[in-house]
């Protein structure tokens, strides 16, 4: 129940209006800690409810006890890596602030600079991307000395996109008394640790177990394939025969995404493709069409799909196996959201098998094996497994599924399949509370393939 949190009553009213009943694990962990005024460093993924986890305490702080007169000046700022995420976050802020006097504004590239400068004087909360905000700071339009709460969302991705310096400079323009809430999907590397040490003051670390964020209603299956052309036939069959509202197909490379998209369009599917080479206009168009239901199928790479929040995505197809367990969780976390049913199908060639079974071990799952009789291939998994009848997870593997890093595997075998092959939640949903100095160790990813994103 949200009433367990000491949130302002107008926010509780908005939460009830939005029909949020149970707070998600990240909300249970982060809302009380943020309400205490601490700086926070939270590892949580898109789809976990993390936006409400920082927006609600932020708004509560701005509303105070309700005794003081409303004053319009910039009192909170949320930084995000992309325009689309900033737009999504603005909508969330407006939904939660609907019964308050607080006004929020958006500052991203591609919009009229003068209009933005005028808007900056009329809002309490600013949501934006670092590049354009720095331009306003340079032009003297951005006064941050009254900022009480600074949020850095998807901080790891802002770093990946080269925004570290801008973010740190914007944080430095705040008055020093402010609270900073830093969220990232991964534990990040040295760059993120450096940012944390520069912008956070004695932070509380909260790490949400990514596996616990998987949705119980999502079935997970694998279908073996002989080669990419075979995978294309399988995708075609699945799109034609599965029941779904909207589907997303993940590839590891731009080239493969474009190729598959071309094949689908040639087969008269209404589809869109999203990858790193598509500009913001294409992204927005693709996402709008998908949201409206004019398009049912999205072909995407991980980078392009990150942060995507589209209702009704109930079929996820991994054309290529993601390179790490966390990326897998990210991908299939898009389906079965907010209690809905979902289906995640991974297409597995011989070179995907080891990665797939290491991800099974990471998730302590065994994916349902499925065959499409119209397109049954020759490859059915490693021969020695079939001969011995062993579960996939019992074979020695060399890939660390969480990170995608090569490592000597010594984890226990995957458990036998549950009846429905749904994702089992770990026993406790409680987030792992990491000590004050407790950032997870640096993790390295497998080097990407050419054209990979």
Contact residues for ligand AMP (CB under 6 A)? 20, 22-24, 27, 46-52, 309, 338
Least Cβ distance, residue 187 to ligand AMP (angstroms): 18
Of 46 and 82, the one with the shorter C-beta distance to ligand AMP is: 46
Of 336 and 393, the one with the shorter C-beta distance to ligand AMP is: 336
Least Cβ distance, residue 7 to ligand AMP (angstroms): 13
Beta pairing class for 405-406 and 399-400: antiparallel
Of 188 and 333, the one with the shorter C-beta distance to ligand AMP is: 333
Of 49 and 81, the one with the shorter C-beta distance to ligand AMP is: 49
In eight-state DSSP terms, residue 193 is H
E strands in 155-268 = 179-184, 204-207, 218-224, 246-250
Looking at 18-82, list the stretches that DSSP marks H as alpha helix, in order from N- to C-terminal side: 25-35, 50-63
Of 49 and 336, the one with the shorter C-beta distance to ligand AMP is: 49
Our measurement of the distance from residue 141's CA atom to the centroid of its chain's CA atoms, rounded to an integer in Å, reads 32
Q: How far apart are CA 136 and CA 144, in angstroms?
A: 11
Of 1 and 139, the one with the shorter C-beta distance to ligand AMP is: 1
Looking at 293-431, list the stretches that DSSP marks H as alpha helix, in order from N- to C-terminal side: 302-305, 325-332, 353-363, 383-388
Report residue 442 as tokens.
Answer: 């640096």
Least Cβ distance, residue 137 to ligand AMP (angstroms): 27
Whether 150 contacts 174, CB under 8 Å? yes
Question: 111 in helix, strand or coil?
Answer: coil
Of 168 and 309, the one with the shorter C-beta distance to ligand AMP is: 309
Report residue 242 as tokens.
Answer: 């599965």
Beta pairing class for 204-207 and 179-184: unpaired
Whether 222 contacts 417, CB under 8 Å? no
Least Cβ distance, residue 2 to ligand AMP (angstroms): 8
Least Cβ distance, residue 32 to ligand AMP (angstroms): 15
Of 14 and 235, the one with the shorter C-beta distance to ligand AMP is: 14
Least Cβ distance, residue 396 to ligand AMP (angstroms): 36
Q: How far apart are CA 253 and CA 452, in angstroms?
A: 4
Whether 335 contacts 363, CB under 8 Å? no
Least Cβ distance, residue 47 to ligand AMP (angstroms): 5
Least Cβ distance, residue 138 to ligand AMP (angstroms): 31
Q: What is the length of the chain?
A: 453
Whether 286 contacts 294, CB under 8 Å? no
Backbone angles phi, psi at 91, to 5 degrees: -60, -45
């Amino acid at each position: 129940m949200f009433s367990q949190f000491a949130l302002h009553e107008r926010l509780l009213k908005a939460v009830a209006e939005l029909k949020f009943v149970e707070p998600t694990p990240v909300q249970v962990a982060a809302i009380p800690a943020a309400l205490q005024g601490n700086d926070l460093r939270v590892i949580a993924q898109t789809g976990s409810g993390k936006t409400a986890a920082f927006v609600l305490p932020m708004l509560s702080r701005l509303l105070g006890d309700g005794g003081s007169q409303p004053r319009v000046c910039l009192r909170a700022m949320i930084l995000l890596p992309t325009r689309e995420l900033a737009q999504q976050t603005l909508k969330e802020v407006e939904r939660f602030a609907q019964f308050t006097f607080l006004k929020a504004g958006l500052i991203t590239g591609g919009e009229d600079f003068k209009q933005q400068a005028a808007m900056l004087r009329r809002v309490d909360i600013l949501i934006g991307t670092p590049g354009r905000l720095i331009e306003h700071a340079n032009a003297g339009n951005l006064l941050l000395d009254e900022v009480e709460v600074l949020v850095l969302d998807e901080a790891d991705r802002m770093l990946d996109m080269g925004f570290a310096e801008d973010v740190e400079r914007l944080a430095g323009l705040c008055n020093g008394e402010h609270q900073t809430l830093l969220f990232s999907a991964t534990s990040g590397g040295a760059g993120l640790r450096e940012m944390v040490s520069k912008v956070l003051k004695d932070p509380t670390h909260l790490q949400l177990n990514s596996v616990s964020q998987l949705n119980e209603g999502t079935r997970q299956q694998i279908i073996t394939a002989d080669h990419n052309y075979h995978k294309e036939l399988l995708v075609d069959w699945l799109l034609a025969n599965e029941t779904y509202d909207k589907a997303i197909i993940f590839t590891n490379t731009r080239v493969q995404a474009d190729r598959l998209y071309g094949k689908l369009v040639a087969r008269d599917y209404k589809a869109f493709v999203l990858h790193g080479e598509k500009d913001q206009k294409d992204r927005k168009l693709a996402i709008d069409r998908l949201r409206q239901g004019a398009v049912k199928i999205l072909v995407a790479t991980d980078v392009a799909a990150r942060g995507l929040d589209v209702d009704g995505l109930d079929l996820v197809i991994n054309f290529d196996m993601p390179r790490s367990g966390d990326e897998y969780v990210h991908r299939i976390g898009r389906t079965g959201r907010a209690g809905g049913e979902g289906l995640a199908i991974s297409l597995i060639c011989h070179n995907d098998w080891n990665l797939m079974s290491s991800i099974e071990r990471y998730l302590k799952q065994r994916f349902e094996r499925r065959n499409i009789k119209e397109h049954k291939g020759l490859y059915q998994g490693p021969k020695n497994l079939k001969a011995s009848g062993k579960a996939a997870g019992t074979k020695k593997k060399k890939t660390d599924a969480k990170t995608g890093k090569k490592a000597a595997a010594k984890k226990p075998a995957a458990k036998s399949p549950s009846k429905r092959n749904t994702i089992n939640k770990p026993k406790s949903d409680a987030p792992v509370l990491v000590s004050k100095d407790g950032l997870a160790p640096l993790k390295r990813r497998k080097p990407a393939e050419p054209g990979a994103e």
